[in-house]
Amino acid sequence: MVINRIAPHYYEEPPISGNNGSGTVFFGGCVMKCDFCQNAVISRAPKGKKYTPRELADEIKRLEDKGVHNINFVTPTQWSDQIKRTLDIYRPNVPIVYNTSGYEDLDVLKGLMPYVDIFLPDYKYSDCTLAKRLSKRGDYPSVALDAIELMVKEKPTIYNGDMLKQGVIIRHLILPGYLDNSKHALDLLVERIGTDLTISLMSQFTPMPNCTDPNRRLKPIEYKMIINHALKLGLTNIFTQEISSAEEEYIPDFDTKE
């Protein structure tokens, strides 16, 4: 596997990061090619250091010894087989988080179910044209929706105190100027899964040089409109962000190991 960063991370949703941080493993490469990717330095190509399953298992033990609340595999899709081999070598005593774009193959996902406790899938697009233009994946809306439906079915929500022990948090990054995409994405999720889902509405879109449209930050009024739409649909388990989180300082420092 190619891995770029292994370190506790404090900027996930509160039941994932808690006080001690989430033990993140940032993999190199990604199955999507989003123009607006904040992690473009590592997602465009598998950039980083090579690890065998045995070596990653040792790193997982080290993270666990630091007291992290979970082990969080970030953009893991292209390495799913090796991740399973790693967890066959060592299974930590904290939950395993699979932090994915949502663009997952259903058979691969089924094979991951015995290994993963928490899924953090994106649901980026309801609009196929936008998905094709910005991420080169015109079939994303239906592929990701099928994948998320399976995740929710297989992993009912279980909390251990304030921390998530098992379950699914669906993330939606609101694209400035594309509010219909966001509203319809929420409509589709509720239509397919119902209102008993947990959604994280992300305001952190940060303009990146590769992306000319959108190329501005989200306005507070836009964010409010999407939150109101979610509430109108009957969603109650909603995580929101401070608009100030749309800063480059929240982008992890890649090429580091803490």
Q: Which residues in this chain contact ligand SF4 in the complex, by CB under 6 A?
A: 30, 32-34, 37, 39, 43, 75, 101, 135
CB of 140 to ligand SF4, least distance (A): 10
CA distance 20 to 126: 35
CB of 26 to ligand SF4, least distance (A): 9
Choose between 68 and 74: whose C-beta lies nearer to ligand SF4.
Answer: 74
CB of 101 to ligand SF4, least distance (A): 3
Choose between 26 and 57: whose C-beta lies nearer to ligand SF4.
Answer: 26
- Per the rule left: phi > 0, alpha: psi between -120 and 50, beta: everything else, 177 is left
Choose between 20 and 78: whose C-beta lies nearer to ligand SF4.
Answer: 78
Angle separating helix axes 128-135 and 140-154, nearest 10 degrees: 100
CA distance 222 to 173: 12
CB of 77 to ligand SF4, least distance (A): 9
Contacts of 209 (CB under 8 A, 6+ apart): none
Choose between 43 and 70: whose C-beta lies nearer to ligand SF4.
Answer: 43
Q: Is 183 helix (H, G, I), strand (E, B) or coil?
A: helix
